[in-house]
A and B are shown apart, each in its own frame.
Chain A
């Protein structure tokens, strides 16, 4: 019976290094592509995002960071959760575009009404308090953002979040894509 898994784990860490190098390269390219995309698609004031405005991105980053804060490991903002959500808003989440537009605006408005500053400019404690006071549609919007943030942080890095597999490393999950790949030849297509 196999109980220990140490040998494989070392392999996994090696793989992780490779993975993160490759990934950084990828991010650079992806970043460029995004910038152009935004210019073509909206002609609005410049934004690094595909769907979000720069201001919305800032607010969203602050909300996501509340949901998964930085402690001894990086939080949602560093992990690229905003990049993840922005990307999905142009794909699988596209039905939620309007919810994001309204939800982010309303949370900023609530912050201004209460503290005279937008949400991202509040200190962490004020942000937490404000989130806890949300009700009705805003509370529902926040639940959506919780789900999306969890997906972006704990899901596969290929979708634009979980940078450098940061959450998988935090949990101690080997990052190797397929166990045993080294023992097997992949079957031919259609075989």
Chain B
């Protein structure tokens, strides 16, 4: 059944989609924002250490539904398995209004200048698809600033000499620090590093009509009870709705992007909250479903003129799936490091993001968010058994006397790390599910090991009496920092969207989310996703001449 035609339909109310909706609606376009998940409040998602977006052993707290949304994961030996959202190899982010930003850790990083020019800086290693972005840090800078001020970021990066030039400081000061910060900061300084307060999409003072953070223990993976964590669900999306130009429809699972006889996008077909098939036509279609589902949606949008899916003439949709290879180290101390002051992560160094001899890229290193007791269970040094009296002793002795430092190693993209649609497995609505496969480039693994060494050295400098590394496997990438599956580029034969996020062979179809990242920086990705959404929609608005753009 057809619904009233609108100017723009956006698929996914997460980081990219939420920001896009706010900008188009503010410019006067009529917008429908479709989200497969619900609009939760913190009251719907209790602080449950076994059931959240970080630790989902008993399920997720903000979607997607466990029964309706399987995926297929293929491991490095070619073994394939149907996986559910609560399993690690599913690469879940979230399904709700706000998407990942509803429960994220809220680290708000700008990528560095070199992160946009990885191939120019390091060359293209064999077996990789490493490439430069078609845009530079300088071009994105005003939009980073806009994201920081519109959504709200606290912190203090003035002591970080490695970040790109910025016009303004962050809009909010950092939160009061915790004991880990007091231990780690002088140690880093003694070691010649440049520690500073992590920028966070979290209110440290009243901002945007919402109160400051109360520094609780349950932040990453959880909804914020006082709305101090800034996601699109409490910033951009309410702003979009307040214009009167945007309608948000939840529980709506988009099935495909529709095209006309000439192959041009005309809108989307979706299953509404009652599982009825609907058609929403629009002048502009924006896919913002996060890297795995955006690729899946394009691949599932097949037609005579697009037999391999939309935007996929050269077979690039779904390739270059990347996230971050997280490595780091644990350290234990002969005094308490734990003081129950959240969110935990607060101090970082960017000394190792680039310039590591013989390596490509690197990672920002930071202390980890507060570890809930169950999360500490697996943090064992070599030699401590996984069960029995010694394990219990280990827990009791060291839980309050440990610090973890880790970092998101920038991944070198490869074509074989990819999202496809599975030929057999279908979801609840009968749509082919995402199939994830591929591994990591050896250079990624090399850098990730070096980052673990650096983390360990920092802990030693801080007085840890014992340290050990946390290393990563080379299996399929993706995860909560999923990106890269519809990469941006000037050449339609080697990329999916142009430098303004428009799908190459389409004049009114856009991808605005982590999918367009050419490379993913040595940082958590969300501020870049938001910045790109401001940047891309500004261009759409400037070119907007009414219907039939």
Residue numbers of A with Cβ under 8 A of B are 1-5, 8, 66-69, 71, 73, 75, 88, 91-92, 128, 146-147, 149-151, 154-156, 158-159, 167-168, 170-174, 177-181, 183-184, 186-187, 189-191
Cβ contact of B373, chosen from A66, A147, A173, cutoff 8 A:
A173
Residues B215 and A71 in contact, CB atoms below 8 Å apart:
no
Q: Contacts A88-B58, A158-B48, A189-B43 hold; do A171 and B214 have CB atoms under 8 A apart?
A: no
7 shortest A-B CB distances, which residue pairs?
A180-B214, A154-B373, A67-B387, A171-B399, A154-B374, A179-B216, A155-B50
Residues of A within 8 A of B339 (CB): 2-5
Bound together, the chains give a CA A35 to CA B338 distance in angstroms of 41
Tell me, yes or no, whether B227 is within 8 Å of chain A by CB: yes
Q: Contacts A1-B177, A155-B49, A172-B400 hold; do A191 and B57 have CB atoms under 8 A apart?
A: no
Residues B211 and A179 in contact, CB atoms below 8 Å apart:
no
Residues B48 and A180 in contact, CB atoms below 8 Å apart:
no
Query: Interface 1/0s, chain B 302-323, versus A by CB < 8 A?
Result: 0000000000000000000000
Interface of A is mostly: loop
Q: Contacts A2-B341, A5-B341, A88-B58 hold; do A179 and B214 have CB atoms under 8 A apart?
A: yes
Q: List 10 A-B contacts (CB under 8 A).
A: A68-B392, A71-B389, A73-B396, A92-B57, A92-B86, A174-B340, A178-B218, A180-B216, A184-B226, A187-B226
Q: Contacts A150-B377, A173-B399 hold; do A66 and B387 have CB atoms under 8 A apart?
A: yes
Residues B49 and A170 in contact, CB atoms below 8 Å apart:
no
Residues of B within 8 A of A181 (CB): 214, 225
Tell me the number of A-to-B contacts counted with CB atoms below 8 Å. 119
Residue of B nearest to A91 (CB): B58
Residues B374 and A155 in contact, CB atoms below 8 Å apart:
yes
Q: Contacts A1-B177, A92-B86 hold; do A178 and B374 have CB atoms under 8 A apart?
A: no
Residues of B within 8 A of A92 (CB): 57-59, 86
Residues of A within 8 A of B374 (CB): 150-151, 154-155
Bound together, the chains give a CA A91 to CA B86 distance in angstroms of 13
Chain B nearest CB, measured from A119 CB (Å): 15
Residues of A within 8 A of B387 (CB): 66-68, 146, 149
Query: Interface 1/0s, chain B 258-301, versus A by CB < 8 A?
Result: 00000000000000000000000000000000000000000000
Bound together, the chains give a CA A146 to CA B57 distance in angstroms of 13
Query: Interface 1/0s, chain B 385-405, versus A by CB < 8 A?
Result: 011110111011001100000
Tell me, yes or no, whether B217 is within 8 Å of chain A by CB: yes
Residue of B nearest to A73 (CB): B396
Bound together, the chains give a CA A150 to CA B399 distance in angstroms of 14
Q: Contacts A154-B373, A180-B214, A191-B227 hold; do A3 and B47 have CB atoms under 8 A apart?
A: no
Residue of A nearest to B84 (CB): A95
Residues B373 and A187 in contact, CB atoms below 8 Å apart:
no
Residues A156 and B392 in contact, CB atoms below 8 Å apart:
no
Bound together, the chains give a CA A163 to CA B507 distance in angstroms of 60
Q: Contacts A150-B374, A178-B216, A180-B216 hold; do A172 and B227 have CB atoms under 8 A apart?
A: no
Residues of A within 8 A of B388 (CB): 66-67, 69, 128
Bound together, the chains give a CA A147 to CA B215 distance in angstroms of 29
Residues of A within 8 A of B399 (CB): 171-173
Bound together, the chains give a CA A183 to CA B225 distance in angstroms of 12
Bound together, the chains give a CA A8 to CA B57 distance in angstroms of 30
Residue of A nearest to B57 (CB): A151
Residues of A within 8 A of B176 (CB): 1-2
Residues of A within 8 A of B86 (CB): 92
Tell me, yes or no, whether B493 is within 8 Å of chain A by CB: no
Bound together, the chains give a CA A168 to CA B391 distance in angstroms of 15
Residue of A nearest to B59 (CB): A92
Residues B215 and A180 in contact, CB atoms below 8 Å apart:
yes
Tell me, yes or no, whether B472 is within 8 Å of chain A by CB: no
Residues of B within 8 A of A171 (CB): 373, 395-396, 399-400
Tell me, yes or no, whether B179 is within 8 Å of chain A by CB: yes
Interface residues of B in 386-430 (CB under 8 A from A): 386-389, 391-393, 395-396, 399-400
Residue of B nearest to A150 (CB): B377
Most chain A C-beta atoms within 10 Å of own C-beta, residue among B226, B338, B373 = B373
Residues B341 and A151 in contact, CB atoms below 8 Å apart:
no
Residue of B nearest to A3 (CB): B179
Tell me, yes or no, whether B41 is within 8 Å of chain A by CB: yes
Cβ contact of B396, chosen from A66, A147, A170, cutoff 8 A:
A170
Bound together, the chains give a CA A163 to CA B393 distance in angstroms of 19
Tell me, yes or no, whether B182 is within 8 Å of chain A by CB: yes
Bound together, the chains give a CA A187 to CA B400 distance in angstroms of 32
Cβ contact of B47, chosen from A150, A172, A178, cutoff 8 A:
A178
Residue of A nearest to B215 (CB): A179
Cβ contact of A184, chosen from B49, B179, B211, B342, cutoff 8 A:
B211
Residues B340 and A69 in contact, CB atoms below 8 Å apart:
no
Query: Interface 1/0s, chain B 163-190, versus A by CB < 8 A?
Result: 0000000000000111100100000000
Bound together, the chains give a CA A82 to CA B101 distance in angstroms of 36
Bound together, the chains give a CA A68 to CA B388 distance in angstroms of 5
**6 further interface pairs, Cβ-Cβ under 8 Å (given A4-B339, A67-B388, A186-B43):** A66-B388, A67-B387, A92-B57, A151-B374, A171-B399, A172-B399
Residue of A nearest to B397 (CB): A171
Residues A159 and B50 in contact, CB atoms below 8 Å apart:
yes
Residue of B nearest to A183 (CB): B214
Bound together, the chains give a CA A154 to CA B395 distance in angstroms of 10
Chain A nearest CB, measured from B261 CB (Å): 43
Residue of A nearest to B399 (CB): A171
Interface residues of B in 38-61 (CB under 8 A from A): 39, 41-43, 47-50, 57-59
Query: Interface 1/0s, chain B 327-369, versus A by CB < 8 A?
Result: 0000000000011111000000000000000000000000000
Bound together, the chains give a CA A173 to CA B218 distance in angstroms of 13
